[in-house]
Amino acid sequence: MDDISEFQRRIVAALDRAGQALDQLGSGGGGGGSEELAAELEAERVANRQLEERVRAIKEKQETTVARLEDQVSDLRDALGARDAEVQRMRKVNDALRETNASLRDANAQGLAEPELVNAAMLSELDALRAQRAAERAEIEEILATLEPVLKEA
């Protein structure tokens, strides 16, 4: 943005100089110098148009880049929120499963439960833990895959 301000300042200064030169020309009445000043004025106008076009192009590029980055950040936040909800759900299921298994182990220790039920519960707990780890691994891989293009651009 500092570049844009600098371009604008230079443009205004150039136009002021050209205007002052025209004023001097009008009051001085020189014949050959007016053509030279008119040519300089036209050159300044061309330079002014070129600078304005460059400023506009830079501004558009910045706006496009910022909008694209904002979209990527929004997508990342949405994905992260969904993954977080999934991880929280899995943690609750695992906590409940662990409590159930602890109760089954206690009942088995007192001779009130069948060992096959305890084994089935333990297998379920192991499956839940594996699923939780797989979900966490998938989440990490998704985040890394999403961040990789952004980091390469930076």
Query: Are the beta carbons of 97 and 128 closer than 8 angstroms?
Result: yes
Angle between helices 32-109 and 2-28 (to 10 degrees): 170
Question: According to the model, what pLDDT value does residue 36 have?
Answer: 82
Tens-of-pLDDT digits for all 154 residues of the chain?
A: 677 778 888 888 888 888 787 777 666 555 556 788 788 888 888 988 998 999 999 999 999 999 988 988 888 888 788 777 777 878 887 787 888 778 778 877 888 767 777 777 788 888 888 888 888 888 888 888 888 888 888 7
End-to-end CA distance of the chain: 19
Which pLDDT value is given to residue 1?
60
Token readout for 3 is 């570049």
Question: Got the DSSP string for 95-112?
Answer: HHHHHHHHHHHHHHHTT-
- Spans of all domains in the chain: 2-153
